[in-house]
Structure 1
Amino acid sequence: MTDGNRLDGDVSGTSAQIGSVQGSVYFGAGQRPVERLPHRSGQVPAVVDGFQPRSVPELESLVTGGVVLSGMGGVGKTQTAADYANRVRDVELLGWVTAASRSNLLSGLAELAATVLGSAIDDPELAAKCFLDWCATTSRKWLLVLDDVSDPADLEQLWPNTGTSGRLVVTTRRHEKLVLQKQSRRMVPLDVFTESESVNYLRGVLGDVSGVEDLAALLGHLPLALSQAAALIDMTPGMTCESYTDNWRTRRASLAELFPEGWSGPGDQIATTWAVSINAADALPPAQVARPMLEVMSLLDPNGIPLSVLTAQPILDYLSVANADLAARALGALQRLNLITFTGTTARVHALVQHATRDQLSEDQLALLAHAAADALIASWPEIERDTEYGATLRTNTTALAVNSGQHLWKPDGHVVLFQAGNSLGGAGLVHAALTHFENLYSTAHQHLGSDHPDTLSTRSNIAYWRGDAGDATGAAQAFTELLTDRLHILGPDHPHTLSTRSNIADWRGQAGDAAGAAQALAELLTDRLRVLGPDHPHTLSTRSNIARWRGHAGDAAGAAQALAELLTDRLRILGPDHPHTLTNRNNIAYWQGHAGDAAGAAKAFAELLDDRLRILGPDHPDTLLTLRNLAQWREQAGVDGEG
């Protein structure tokens, strides 16, 4: 069709002078190249046996535009894209390009250009441009999959315009929404299987066998790991889900031992999958910091590691970075490669990524890492646990660290974080859990350090204490008495731990019913502590507090209140008004003031204490809740209503 000096459509034959041309132009008498459509790429991977369809609404509703499937290696991005491509039947062109590098991408687009244009173009850049021009202008329906994009920068000037008839699916390990998502395409995170998807997959491969739920949970519902484990179980006579799971947990074998080797699913495939991502993350600024950061995370709780721990000074020292911002940027690099995720101020990492990372550590590296992580936990542990959820997170990370570090937290001595976690349990009101923690800790300490090591003796002290706190005062007193014999023999009479044991014996003796005997024993201890430690030492102050307490329980409530009032003056001077011991001292004064007959004074003192405990500890702390109960009790006895 002609319109003045304008031609629309394809032109061949004798040349003409024209103003503009719409469509392809061919010169000479040769035949115009013919499109080789319809065409379906032979590069689309086969969908594996037992494939579990993923719910990706953005894919299922795609008419034109693009979807970028972003996720860590092994979550099934390629399989999800392949399943979608195999189900799409209403397109004239289905192209599949492995886009792990720009050169691969250009090569794949050039091949598709030859398909849609009918002839090859030698220059890959020009061929790719011609194909992209076709994508943007054609009315033919097409679907293009760019699989395994390793770096979004490789797609610069190569992102297809889907126009009015095209669909684009991209798979990548990168998580960079600013680049990957635009108005015409959506970035969709692809996570591991759900529990039901994992179970259905395993049963699809192995049949209706037992133990699939535990196996799926053990492998963190990661599709690649599930497929490798299922293959190993299927090809190994006598192996079951239960035996595989037991082998993992008891032997703590490497990934290479736990996944198939030397066949279509190589044993190192999982580790290799993440090695590519780790190398890429480590190359991002700050260079060579992401890998050691992941090494730190490999020893901690996969379900949540506080940012405060990962940016604590011991971690900065291990990473050899100057400040927390650089550590945070390393975490960002890991997130960009989908190796970790963040929820608020908590980082998560898949347990198998951790396992693959730990497999690469030497024993010397593991020892250094274990102490760096333990020191970071202690540095992050608040003296007062106002946030009970944060305290619980620190404890779960300590447990994970202890398991993954093996013997290294016991060289040269038991690390303090092991004891901190147990006392944190008790401080949170989980007394029986604290007792169990220290009983287990004693067995480990005895194994690594021997029966006479101070840390082994300390675990016995903690067992005795939490036994008493759990309600067995007589058993606690007896356990401390047995411990005193060993501490006198090993440490001597003036050692602080020996003196503390005497204090504990007296205290639990009082709680078992002998208040006068407890007060007398503590008075004798005070003489030695004044001599050994001096009048301002915290243990000396605690001894004075305990004497007052048992003096009150022996019948002298007024004397107890007076002694505690004198002690409060010293604690305010030495510790300050917000220290836990100062607050406890005020609690005890109020308590004995009430028992001495001044219920109204006690209620007033508890009300003032409540204000400070709410400010310092928060409303959910056990000590705050105790103060609330005491306030209600003494207000009732004083005949004061809740507004008084």
Structure 2
Amino acid sequence: MFVSGTVQPFGWLASTRRRLDGVHGSIWTMGNHRDPDPPHVVNAMAGDVTGLFVQAGKIDGGVHYHQPARPAVEWPYRAGVVPPRAASYQERAASDLLARAVGEGDAAILTTDRPGRTSVMSGLGGVGKTQLAVDYAEQLWTASELDLLAWVTAISRDTIVSSYASLAADLTGIEDPDPEQGAQRLLAWLASTSKRWLMVLDNLRSPADLRGMWPPANHSGKVVVTTRRRDAALHGHRRRLIEIDVFTDAEAMAYLTARFADHEHLLDGTAVLARDLGYLPLALAQAAAFMLDRNLTCTAYQARLADRRRTLTSLLPEADGLPDEHQATVAATWSLSIEQADALEPAGLARPLLEVTSVLAPGGFPIEVLTAPPVTDMLTASTGRVIRAEEARDTLGCLHRLSLITMDPRTAHRTVQVHPLVQRVTRDAMPVRHTRTVARAAADALVRVWPDNERNPALSEVLRTNATALNDVCGEHLWRPGAHLVLIYVGFSLDARGWAAQARDHFEETLITAVDRLGPDHPDTLDIRMNLAGTRAKAGDLAGAIAEYEALLDDQQRLLGAGHVNNLIVRGNLAYWHGEYGNPSGAIAEYESLRSDLLRVFGAEHPFVFSVRNNLARFRGSVLDLNGALAEYAMLLDDLIRVLGRDHPFTMTTFGNIIGLRGVGGDPAGAFTMAQMLLTSQLSVLGPDHPDTLATRSTMARWQGMAGDPVAAATTCAQVLRERQRALGSDHPDTLMSRSNLAFWRGMAGDAAGAATACEELLADQLRVLGPNHPEIKNTREMLTRWRSRR
């Protein structure tokens, strides 16, 4: 700086900052105190003053400020350090999206022909947002489509402002002492220039850091922002939020193949490894480096990854061995996001709620699981303040904004999704005792939201998947003090869906674990054996089920005592399956003995007593004691109407049983009329999709055909089949039964060839779903033989 004029010397100094009339620029003035008595300040100047200077004492005459000119930049110009492309960089489907879709209003704004638009690339840390931005920027630069490429690391507002100010100085030749002024100078230049420019703001930590700093809309300019945030503040005029996903399966395979091009012997098991790493680009890159350093195949690495005794950090390179200039391991990449989420309001809930998500299925679960009382109670205990469901829901929003989870209300029952490696890292950080608390809270929440019936198959499937995932990752915590109810609910749900074989398999596996963890004599182990016996029977192994019930009854009487209520339950099940196995007379005798004991223990109006009376009448009818059966049903129906009411499902089921006996007794037309009456009540009370409603419509078809109208019966069966396929699915046993009924009545209506074809198709599906030993297989084979002979 050059100053002309007379400068008076200082005494002792005091400083102020003043704006003077007629002065252009920023002026620092310093007073001159020669003596405190009398004190005086001489801050005087004359003439025109321009520029920035420090006034010392008194200046007389013309003052001129000369700022040295900075050399002009050479065009085209690059500012900032653009990260290098990763080794074996893969072209991705997202690249095409980024290149073409902005002008169409889609999520890819990077190469749109429409001017002045901004792209905000958001996604989980490690999905490759920066690499996509690098690729886009370098392609434009190589194609000579840019005069200015500016790369700004946007980790804080200070770094953004200082980078802007530095770039403004480069472009305009004016170096502002105040970085904020320099940043505004850059924004003004970007708004007015005709130069073709691209601004990349990489790794934006907080939307607030760009407040007042968004690059302007300009027909010659483009803006790309990469961030893990999804805040609403990122949306705005001429901005698009682009969700960048993990690799596709094909992209992951291409990456690993290229990465191991010189080490093909390591490629064995790439598909499984890519899946287990969740197709996350950063994880694949770091795992590949780890494998190359240790000469591990993908299969060998995957085996280590599957070992839950190892942490994810132990399976990644050390800091000095990270590939592609990575700054942190995939495990450490998310730590800052978790801290940021935990600091957002409501504070302190993000980490514990993320811990609950870490033990559930990564494919998704209902938001109601994370807002259920067991979870909010856990949050209350961890924070020391009462946490309600709405605060848990708000916290999920914080985790979503930081891309630690994904929330999509359009995905029914899978609203919340979490990447499996985020789950792994979160679980790795939890102490064992805390893991037990989290696991029990998650299990309790699943039970809390589980529906009482299977009228929503999609929800039940999601809950089963989550219960299985929970058992896989921390099942040891679900067995103290006993078997958690969620383990039993999985089997109940499979059974209720009609998948008896799958339910049997589940209870067999659960029994093995129960014996190992609780011992063979634990009450929960005995209960699991009871459930296993029931599903064996429903899967077609009646003899095996009866043998299991008899052995269980002996063990329960020894361990629990002869009068324990569980013995009565086993006796009831034994009686039922004896009757189903071909011994209805024996079943009747067992039920009569059981009824006496039940009346003594529970009284006449207990549901168990009603159930035994219903089965007693049923088996009396099966031995052709129709009068005795009808009399038993009549008395039972009166009691049910009195105790439960006419619209209770049990009452309507009993009425349906009376219809069946009336039809078997020789009055199919009367049975059909009664079935119509029952259907009207069920439609009103239960709805059209309830299994009992559909069963009654199937019964109507039977008696309609038996009354002499097989064509109408086939039509009704076809309608019931469509409804069961929609409500229950194609493989449900009731759906398969509807196909059997339809085939029968088609044959009876004169279409033997169509009936035979239907039986052939049905038999193949029954063998697949029910297994070769199921009783229905024999019935279908006999019907197939019958209709083939009549074609």
Q: Output the CA distance in 2 between the equivalents of 1:430 and 1:510.
A: 22
Q: Tell me the distance in 1 between the aligned counterparts of 2:315 and 2:638.
A: 64
Q: Aligned equivalents of 2:463 and 2:646: distance in 1?
A: 27
Superimposed CA distance per residue, residues 520-569 of structure 1 (whole angstroms, 9 cap, x where no aligned partner) = 11111111111122222222222222212222222223433442343344
Is residue 2:355 matched to residue 1:295? yes
Q: 1:609 to 1:348 in 2, by over 3 A?
A: farther
Partner of 2:278: 220
Give 2:303's aligned residue: 246
CA distance in 1, matches of 2:418, 2:478: 22
* AA partner of residue 51 (structure 1): Y
User: 1:61 — aligned with what?
Assistant: 111
* Residues 346-399 of structure 1, C-alpha deviations (whole Å, 9 max, x = no match): 211111111111111112211111221111111111212211111111111111
1:186 counterpart residue number: 240
Equivalent of 1:40 in 66, 78, 95: 78
The answer for the alignment partner of 1:282 in structure 2 is: 342
- The equivalent of 1:325 in structure 2 is 390
The residue number in structure 1 matching 2:251 is 197
Deviation string 1:596-632 (CA, Å, 9 cap, x unpaired) is 2332333334344445656666656655544432221
Task: Work out the CA distance in 2 between the residues paired with 1:578 and 1:394.
Answer: 30
Alignment of 1:45-444 (within 5 A): 45-54=83-92, 55=94, 56=98, 57=100, 58-63=108-113, 64=115, 65-89=117-141, 90-176=145-231, 178-207=232-261, 209-237=267-295, 239-251=296-308, 253-265=310-322, 269-320=329-380, 321-344=386-409, 346-444=415-513
Distance 1:506 1:40 in 2: 86
Deviates more, 1:161-170 or 1:107-116: 107-116
Shift of the 629–112 alpha-carbon distance from structure 1 to 2, 3 Å rule, reads same
CA shift for structure 1 position 33: 4.2
| Structure 1 segment 7-46 matched on structure 2, within 5 A | 33-37=70-74, 38-46=76-84
| Structure 1 residue 575 displacement after superposition | 4.7
1:141 to 1:379, Cα distance in 2 relative to 1, 3 A: same
- Judged with a 3 Å threshold, the aligned counterparts in structure 2 of structure 1 residues 173 and 582 are, in CA distance, closer, same or farther, namely farther
Q: Match of 2:320, SS?
A: coil
* Aligned equivalents of 2:364, 2:515: Cα separation in 1: 31
CA distance in 2, matches of 1:298, 1:578: 44
- Check whether the contact 2:110–2:119 (CA below 8 A) recurs between aligned residues: no
Shift of 1:506: 1.2
1:255 partner amino acid:
L
Write the letter of the residue equivalent to 1:52.
Q
Secondary structure of the structure 1 residue equivalent to 2:124: coil
Query: How many residues are treated as equivalent by the alignment?
Result: 620
Match of 1:20 in 2: none
Instruction: Quote the residue 1:10 is aligned against.
Output: none
SS at match of 2:377: helix
SS of residue matched to 2:406: strand
How far did 1:125 drift? 0.8
Whether 1:450 and 2:519 are equivalent positions in the alignment is: yes
Task: Give me the whole-angstrom Cα distance separating, in 1, the residues matched to 2:651 and 2:305.
Answer: 49
Q: Give, in whole Å, the separation in 1 of the partners of 2:584 and 2:119.
A: 74
* Length-normalised TM-score, structure 1: 0.91
Q: Distance in 1 between matches of 2:138 and 2:512?
A: 57
Deviations 1:414-473 (A, max 9, x none): 011111110110100111110110011001111110000111111111111111001111
> 1:584 offset after TM fit, Å?
3.5
Q: 1:312, CA displacement in angstroms? A: 1.5
Cα distance change, pair 518–40 in 1 and its aligned pair in 2 (3 A):
same
Give the equivalent residue in structure 1 for 2:725: none
1:509-520 to structure 2, matched below 5 A, reads 509-520=578-589
Q: After the TM superposition, which residues 483-502 of structure 1 pair with which residues of structure 2 at under 5 Å, given as runs?
A: 483-502=552-571
Q: Residues 255 and 267 of structure 1 are in contact (CA less than 8 Å); yes or no, is this contact kept in structure 2? A: no
* Structure 2 counterpart of 1:217, one-letter code: R
Query: Are 2:529 and 1:460 aligned?
Result: yes
Relative to structure 1, is the Cα distance of residues 275 and 564 closer, same or farther in structure 2, using a 3 angstrom cutoff? farther
User: Against the structure 1 CA distance between its residues 573 and 487, is the aligned structure 2 distance closer, same or farther, given a 3 Å change threshold?
Assistant: same
| TM-score, normalised via structure 2 length | 0.74
When structure 1 is superposed on structure 2, of 29-38 and 185-194 the one drifting more is: 29-38
**Consecutive unaligned residues in structure 1, runs of 5 or more:** 1-13, 18-26
| One-letter amino acid of the structure 2 residue matched with residue 480 of structure 1 | Y
1:595 to 654, 657, 664: 664
Residue 507 of structure 1 aligns with which residue?
576
Where relative contact order (Cα < 8 A, 6+ residues apart) is larger, the structure is 1
SS of 1:88's equivalent in the other structure is helix
Counterpart residue identity of residue 143, structure 1: L
Separation in 1 of the partners of 2:642 and 2:315? 61
- Structure 2 distance, partners of 1:586, 1:236, is 72
Provide the C-alpha distance between the structure 2 equivalents of 1:466 and 1:250, rounded to a whole number of angstroms. Answer: 33
Q: Structure 2 stretches of 5 or more lacking a match?
A: 1-46, 51-63, 101-107, 381-385, 717-791
Structural RMSD (CA): 2.5
Q: Name the residue aligned to 2:767.
A: none
Structure of larger gyration radius: 2
* Counterpart residue identity of residue 439, structure 2: A
One-letter code aligned to 2:253: V
Report the equivalent of 2:16: none
Greater Cα shift, 242-251 or 132-141: 242-251
The aligned counterpart of 2:13 is none
Deviating more after overlay: 204-213 vs 29-38: 29-38
Does structure 1 conserve the Cα–Cα contact (< 8 Å) formed by 2:286 and 2:317?
Answer: yes
Amino acid at match of 1:351: P
The 1:72/1:607 distance shift into structure 2, 3 A limit, reads farther
Structure 2 residue matching 1:506: 3-state secondary structure: helix
User: For residue 329 of structure 1, what is the amino acid of its counterpart?
Assistant: D
Alignment CA distance shift 1:262-1:163 (3 Å): closer
User: Secondary structure at 1:296's aligned position in 2?
Assistant: helix
Change over 3 Å in CA distance of 1:53–1:586 after alignment to 2: farther
* Aligned-pair CA distance for 1:578: 6.0
Match of 1:23 in 2: none
2:521 is paired with a residue of what secondary structure?
coil
Per-residue Cα deviation, 1:129-158 (whole angstroms, up to 9, x for no partner): 111111111111111100111110111100
Letter in 2 for 1:407: E
Q: Secondary structure at the match of 1:443?
A: helix
C-alpha distance in 1 between matches for 2:167 and 2:630: 90
1:210 partner SS: coil
Is the CA contact (8 Å cut-off) linking 2:305 and 2:312 kept in structure 1? Answer: no
Q: Which letter maps to 2:229?
A: R
Q: Alpha-carbon deviations, 1:56-100, whole Å to 9, x = none? A: 232453343211101111111111111111111221211111111
DSSP-derived class of the 1:305 partner: coil
8 Å contact kept, 2:120–2:224? yes
